[in-house]
């Protein structure tokens, strides 16, 4: 392949400063841009100018290229020496990755292998997942929690080891059961200067003494006395944000649900709170209580098994 003199292409001396190189590139790029120039071969010239600038504007690429400068002249056949690249640490930049397919074989022969080696040694860290339990109340008020996890870190020899890692995390108001919180860069460290992976925390609620979580809704078993269920009543019921008064319709049975709109987990829209009625019988553990039950049995025409045909 043909050796390319990038200094000659840009029209600058080998002693040119970075500013000299930038000015020369901008002037030539404006002149030969395919959208501007009508000159034959302008597009090929424009690519050649871009390739030269890609090398000479980067200190590492320029140093590597200059190592060959005294051995070759433009137009000569070129094959990289066997020891080419020794001692150079090449990092492929964004422009190189995007532009390399349009660059010449000469460019690829110089920097292609370096770029592949750099990409192979540069890898983003792995993502990790962990489950944590929080009180249901955190979903209503938000909170900051301190958690300790065994997280991957690099030791002094560059090896990945598991160590205890303490994190302060913010629990947002309205978080749902099963929702993920992403902590950027808290996963496995990257290699070769690449970013670390992320840590995803899967949030679940501790079992609550009163409420059951069903998506963004909650349910609560609300005990009723037989007369409250039969005659109807206004009773007090707890909610995560305070006690409210609830009207129980007359003739209510166990299992009936009363909906308190918007009293579930906060959000857009918020969830609801369902009160599941449960009729509870008083104990017949005194003579007076037994007498009242006998009176009900005698005076009320009530057969709870009528629907069964018995």
- Over range 248-255, report the average pLDDT: 96
Who has greater pLDDT, 244 or 99?
Answer: 244
The answer for residues whose C-beta is within 8 angstroms of residue 80's C-beta and 6 or more apart is: 68, 109, 110
Calculate the dihedral angle through the C-alpha atoms of 103, 104, 110, 114, rounding to the nearest 10 degrees.
Answer: 40
**pLDDT tens readout for residues 208-251:** 999 999 999 999 999 999 999 999 999 999 999 999 999 999 99
Alpha-carbon gap, residue 134 to 224, rounded angstroms: 31
**DSSP-assigned beta bridge partners for residue 244:** 237
Instruction: Please classify residue 60 by burial: count the beta carbons closer than 10 Å to its beta carbon, then call 0-12 exposed, 13-18 middle and 19+ buried.
Output: middle
Q: Do the Cβ atoms of 6 and 23 come closer than 8 Å?
A: no
Mean pLDDT calculated for residue range 5-19: 89
Strands 217-224 vs 211-214: parallel, antiparallel or unpaired? antiparallel
Do residues 243 and 228 lie in contact, with contact meaning Cβ atoms separated by under 8 Å?
Answer: no
DSSP run (H or E) holding 75: none
> Which tokens sit at 15?
């002693």
Per-residue pLDDT at 87 exceeds 70: no
How far is the C-alpha of 184 from the C-alpha of 291, rounded, in Å? Answer: 70
Residue 102: pLDDT band (50, 70, 90) is: low
CATH assignment, 211-308:
2.60.260.20
CB atoms within 10 A of CB 128: 19
The reported pLDDT for the residue numbered 100 is: 41
Judge whether 122-206 and 211-308 match in fold.
yes
Q: Could you give the residue ranges of the DSSP H alpha helices within the chain? A: 6-10, 18-32, 42-56, 59-66, 94-99, 105-121, 137-141, 226-231, 287-299
Q: Domain 122-206: which topology?
A: HSP40/DNAj peptide-binding domain (2.60.260)
Residue 273, pLDDT > 90, answer: yes
CA-to-CA distance for 151 and 171, rounded, in angstroms?
A: 20
Among the listed residues 27, 6, 158, the one whose alpha carbon sits nearest the alpha carbon of residue 78: 6
Whether the pTM exceeds 0.75: the reply is: no
Give 170-196 pLDDT, tens digit per residue: 999 999 999 999 998 888 777 666 788
**Cα distances (Å, whole numbers) of residue 235 to 124, 229, 264, 277, 292:** 59, 11, 19, 12, 23
DSSP helix/strand/coil, 217: strand
For the chain, the maximum distance between any two Cα atoms, rounded to a whole number of angstroms, is 119
Q: How far is CA 257 from CA 88, 117, 223, 248, 283, in A?
A: 74, 66, 12, 10, 25
pLDDT of residue 77: 58
Residue 267 has pLDDT above 50, yes or no: yes
Preceding omega of 269 cis (within 30 degrees of 0): yes
CB 267 within 8 Å of CB 174: yes
- CATH homologous superfamily, domain 1-115: DnaJ domain (1.10.287.110)
Please report the pLDDT score of residue 61 as a whole number.
76
CA–CA separation, 283 and 263 (whole Å) = 33
Query: Could you tell me the residue ranges of all domains in the chain?
Result: 1-115, 122-206, 211-308
* Tens-digit pLDDT profile for residues 45-54: 898 998 889 8
Q: Which of 89-93, 186-190, 286-290 has the lowest mean pLDDT?
A: 89-93
Q: What is the pLDDT of residue 133?
A: 93
Q: Which residue has the higher pLDDT, 309 or 292?
A: 292
Confidence of residue 113 (pLDDT cuts 50, 70, 90): low
- Listed residue (34, 25, 32) closest to 6, CA to CA: 25
């Amino acid at each position: 392949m043909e050796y390319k003199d990038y200094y000659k292409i840009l029209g600058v001396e080998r002693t040119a400063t970075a500013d000299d190189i930038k000015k020369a590139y901008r002037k030539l790029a404006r002149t030969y841009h395919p959208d501007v120039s009508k000159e034959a071969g302008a597009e090929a010239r424009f690519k050649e100018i871009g390739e030269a600038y890609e090398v000479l504007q980067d200190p590492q690429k320029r140093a590597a290229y200059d190592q060959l400068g005294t051995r070759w002249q433009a137009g000569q056949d070129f094959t990289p020496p066997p020891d080419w690249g020794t001692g150079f640490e090449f990092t492929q930049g964004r422009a190189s990755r995007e532009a390399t397919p349009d660059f010449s074989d000469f460019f690829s022969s110089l920097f292609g292998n370096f770029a592949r080696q750099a990409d192979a040694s540069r890898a983003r860290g792995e993502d990790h997942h962990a489950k944590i339990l929080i009180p249901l109340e955190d979903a209503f008020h938000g909170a900051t929690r301190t958690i300790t996890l065994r997280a991957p870190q690099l030791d002094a020899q560059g090896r990945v080891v598991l160590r205890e890692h303490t994190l302060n995390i913010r629990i947002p108001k309205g978080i749902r059961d099963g929702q993920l919180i992403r902590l950027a860069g808290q996963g496995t460290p990257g290699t070769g200067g690449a970013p670390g992976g992320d840590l995803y925390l899967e949030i679940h609620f501790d079992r609550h003494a009163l409420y059951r979580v069903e998506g963004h809704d909650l349910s609560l078993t609300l005990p009723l006395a037989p007369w409250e269920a039969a005659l109807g009543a206004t009773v007090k019921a707890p909610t995560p944000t305070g006690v409210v008064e609830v009207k129980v319709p007359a003739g209510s049975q166990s299992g009936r649900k009363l909906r308190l709109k918007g009293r579930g987990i906060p959000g857009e829209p918020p969830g609801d709170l369902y009160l599941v009625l449960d009729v509870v019988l008083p104990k017949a553990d005194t003579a007076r209580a037994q007498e009242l039950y006998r009176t009900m049995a005698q005076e009320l025409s009530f057969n709870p098994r009528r629907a069964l045909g018995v």
